[in-house]
Copies of this chain bind each other. A is one copy, B any other.
């Protein structure tokens, strides 16, 4: 069965863009053909069980430019609505083939025929903005820090300080779930109590994003508990939990905004020559139905260059009939970063700062104020240093941290 046809014009296929370095002695043509075979209907040797009716299922390499290879996959190869199955095909065995020295799934183009069976985000950017009553500015969030070890009462107090200081959102960190020092159920009750108090005191809507990361049915129980106790959000570690469970959380259709943390992604997204790009993860996460996803910052403590901008744009653009997704920027952000961050990524972002708020030398409340002031300076179009002149918290933050 031929797996290459450079004259082929893709129709309603799924298209994958790969970066491919062939193994020594192998042409890129041959290696890319083997990738197309292994990820669709072929294997390393001719088999005698092939049937003539199967020809229509072959994936075909239709473009090779340098090391950029494009492959078209007929939709019949995929089970509608099954993300793990899509990944097992186009991002499965192929990374381990001896025929390739390096292989990266750079991008994936999902046609309407495949996208339409997915629910996609329940709320999307507009839905989230409606919940918070924030029309245009970036949302300001924090992560309770230290990430692990705080007892429940202290966790809730830190959340309260962040909210009254000006944060819209408080979230758990990616490795906080249900440890002895801060059990999940107690944390939900105590932290939502503090949310109520902060809402009453500030007159603003506030949200708490508890991390439900666990075995699937336990996650469902935790989400139910959050919903029953008046929570509006759930956060899940998308990669360490996996796409099967992410789809399950969305299937249940809780009245909760779904926030996806991407812990572990850089194990396979960081090497620019091998693995899977964050763009691919973001696209599949939108199909599965997350309302928010971490995309990086360009600046800050985490690696991740200008591709962050492209991902954020894609999440906010139209994609068949699925709602938009809020790009979440996090990783070493502090107030001095904000003008540049918004210049690069626009106002439709969630800004998540942990150390950049709780590390403020006047404490969490002042740190949250400083961050909100930094955001307001951009919204009001006033230079941040100018804005800081009669705003003590921002002034201190800018002295404490520089860009």
Contacts and interface: CB of A to CB of B under 8 A. Distances in A.
Contact of A213 (B49, B84, B263, B331): B84
Given A87-B264, A245-B245, A264-B95, A45 B214 contact: no
Q: Chain A: interface residue count, which band?
A: 35 or more
A301 interface: yes
A392 to B, nearest CB: 16
A148 interface: yes
Interface in A387-403: 401
Contacts of A268: 267-268, 275
Contacts of A7: none
A163 to B, nearest CB: 14
Interface string A140-184: 000011111111001000100000000000000011011111000
Copies of chain A in the complex? 2
B240 A87 contact: yes
A46 B334 CA distance: 13
Interface string A14-49: 000000000000000000000000011111111111
Nearest to A247: B215
A contacts with B: majority SS: loop
Interface string A254-285: 00000001011111111100111000000000
A25 to B, nearest CB: 15
Interface stretch (A198-206, A342-350, A353-361, A374-382): A353-361
Given A40-B148, A146-B42, A265 B96 contact: yes
* Residue in A40, A44, A296 with the greatest tally of chain B CB atoms within 10 Å: A44
24 contacts: A40-B147, A42-B146, A43-B145, A43-B355, A45-B356, A46-B355, A47-B355, A48-B358, A48-B359, A48-B361, A49-B363, A51-B151, A77-B148, A77-B175, A81-B215, A84-B241, A88-B261, A216-B244, A217-B248, A219-B244, A239-B242, A241-B242, A242-B244, A244-B245
Given A45-B355, A216-B248, 15 more contacts: A43-B145, A46-B359, A48-B363, A49-B150, A54-B150, A85-B175, A85-B237, A85-B240, A87-B237, A91-B240, A91-B264, A105-B267, A215-B247, A216-B244, A216-B245
Interface of A: 1, 39-51, 53-54, 57, 76-79, 81-85, 87-89, 91-93, 95-99, 105, 144-151, 154, 158, 174-175, 177-181, 213-219, 237, 239-248, 251, 261, 263-271, 274-276, 296, 301-304, 331-332, 334, 354-356, 358-361, 363-364, 401
